[in-house]
Amino acid sequence: MASRYFSRTYRTEAAWEDLCTQRLVEVGTRGIEVSVAGSDAVQLLAYFSTPPPPHQGLPERVGEQRGHVELLAEGWLEERDWQEEFRRHVVPIQIGDRFLVDPGELDRPPPVADGRIVLRLPTRTAFGTGSHETTQLTLEWLEQVEVENRTILDVGSGSGVLSLAAQRLGARCVIGFDLDLPSALMSGQYERLNREPSVPRGRIGLYAGTSGAICPKARFDLLMVNVLPHRIASELGWLAGRVRSGGLALVSGVLDAEENSVLAAWRALGLDPVGRRQRGEWVAWKLTKGGSQ
Ligand SMILES: C[S@@+](CC[C@H](N)C(=O)[O-])C[C@H]1O[C@@H](n2cnc3c(N)ncnc32)[C@H](O)[C@@H]1O
User: Do 175 and 281 share a domain, yes or no?
Assistant: yes
Cα separation, 206 vs 182, whole angstroms: 12
Where in the sequence is the domain holding 14, given as residue range(s)?
4-78
Can you give the CATH number for the domain in which 23 is found? Answer: 3.30.70
User: Do 62 and 142 share a domain, yes or no?
Assistant: no
User: Do 137 and 68 share a domain, yes or no?
Assistant: no
Q: What is the pLDDT of residue 293?
A: 59
pLDDT > 90? residue 160:
yes
Residue at which a domain ends, from 78, 95, 120: 78
User: Do 52 and 145 share a domain, yes or no?
Assistant: no
User: Do 145 and 278 share a domain, yes or no?
Assistant: yes
Backbone angles phi, psi at 184, to 5 degrees: -65, -40
CA of 214 to the centre of ligand 1 (A): 16
User: Do 209 and 273 share a domain, yes or no?
Assistant: yes
Confidence of residue 291 (pLDDT cuts 50, 70, 90): low
Q: What is the pLDDT of residue 2?
A: 53
> How many Å separate Cα 264 from the centre of its chain?
22
Q: Does 118 fall in a domain?
A: no
User: Do 67 and 157 share a domain, yes or no?
Assistant: no
Q: Does 138 fall in a domain?
A: yes
Q: What is the pLDDT of residue 125?
A: 84
Q: Does 91 fall in a domain?
A: no
Among 74-83, 123-132, 262-271, which stretch is predicted with the lowest mean pLDDT? 74-83
CA of 61 to the centre of ligand 1 (A): 31
Query: What does each C-alpha distance from 58 to 75, 213, 255 come to in angstroms?
Result: 16, 36, 18
Mean pLDDT of 273-278: 98
Confidence of residue 1 (pLDDT cuts 50, 70, 90): very low
Mean pLDDT of 27-55: 92
User: Do 19 and 133 share a domain, yes or no?
Assistant: no
Cα separation, 225 vs 48, whole angstroms: 26
Cα separation, 195 vs 270, whole angstroms: 36
Question: Ligand 1, from 231, 232, 283: best to mutate by most atoms within 8 Å of Cβ?
Answer: 231
pLDDT > 90? residue 84:
no
Closest ligand 1 atom to 211 CA: 20
The answer to whether 177 touches 184, Cβ cutoff 8 Å, is yes
Closest ligand 1 atom to 253 CA: 1
Mean pLDDT of 107-124: 93
Residue at which a domain ends, from 37, 53, 78: 78
Closest ligand 1 atom to 176 CA: 6
Q: What is the pLDDT of residue 292?
A: 57
User: Do 62 and 203 share a domain, yes or no?
Assistant: no
Question: Ligand 1, from 135, 206, 227: best to mutate by most atoms within 8 Å of Cβ?
Answer: 227
Q: What is the pLDDT of residue 37?
A: 85
Query: What does each C-alpha distance from 25 to 29, 49, 79, 178, 231 come to in angstroms?
Result: 5, 13, 20, 16, 10
Q: Does 115 fall in a domain?
A: no
Question: Ligand 1, from 22, 101, 179: best to mutate by most atoms within 8 Å of Cβ?
Answer: 179
Q: What is the pLDDT of residue 179?
A: 95
Q: What is the pLDDT of residue 202?
A: 74
Cα separation, 74 vs 49, whole angstroms: 13
CA of 2 to the centre of ligand 1 (A): 29
Output the average pLDDT for the chain.
93
Q: Does 113 fall in a domain?
A: no
Mean pLDDT of 139-159: 97
Query: What does each C-alpha distance from 291 to 34, 118, 156, 191, 251 come to in angstroms?
Result: 42, 33, 26, 33, 17
Protein residue closest via CA to atom 16 of ligand 1: 231
Protein residue closest via CA to atom 8 of ligand 1: 135
Cα 275-277-279 angle, rounded to 5 deg? 175
Can you give the CATH number for the domain in which 270 is found? Answer: 3.40.50.150
More confident residue, 197 or 120: 120
User: Do 248 and 156 share a domain, yes or no?
Assistant: yes
pLDDT > 90? residue 156:
yes
DSSP letter at 106?
T
DSSP letter at 83?
T
Closest ligand 1 atom to 224 CA: 6
Confidence of residue 93 (pLDDT cuts 50, 70, 90): very high
Confidence of residue 126 (pLDDT cuts 50, 70, 90): confident
pLDDT > 60? residue 124:
yes
Protein residue closest via CA to atom 4 of ligand 1: 158
Confidence of residue 36 (pLDDT cuts 50, 70, 90): confident
Residue at which a domain ends, from 78, 107, 138: 78
Q: Does 92 fall in a domain?
A: no
Give the side-chain half-sphere CA count within 13 A for 292.
Answer: 0
Query: What does each C-alpha distance from 46 to 15, 72, 86, 107, 162 come to in angstroms?
Result: 18, 12, 15, 29, 27
User: Do 61 and 134 share a domain, yes or no?
Assistant: no
CA of 62 to the centre of ligand 1 (A): 31
Q: What is the pLDDT of residue 4?
A: 85
Mean pLDDT of 256-266: 96
User: Do 72 and 199 share a domain, yes or no?
Assistant: no
Q: What is the pLDDT of residue 252?
A: 98
CA of 39 to the centre of ligand 1 (A): 32
pLDDT > 70? residue 82:
no
Q: Does 117 fall in a domain?
A: no
CA of 52 to the centre of ligand 1 (A): 21
Q: Which residues line ligand 1 (CB under 6 A)?
A: 127-128, 134-135, 138, 155-158, 161-162, 177-180, 183, 210, 226-227, 231-232, 235, 253
Q: Euclidean distance between the first and final Cα of the chain, in Å?
A: 57
Question: Would strands 69-78 and 4-13 be described as parallel, antiparallel, or unpaired?
Answer: antiparallel
Give the three-state DSSP class for 120: strand
DSSP letter at 229?
H
User: Domain total for the chain?
Assistant: 2
Q: Does 110 fall in a domain?
A: no
pLDDT in tens, 210-257: 999 999 999 999 999 999 999 999 999 999 999 999 999 999 999 999
Closest ligand 1 atom to 231 CA: 16
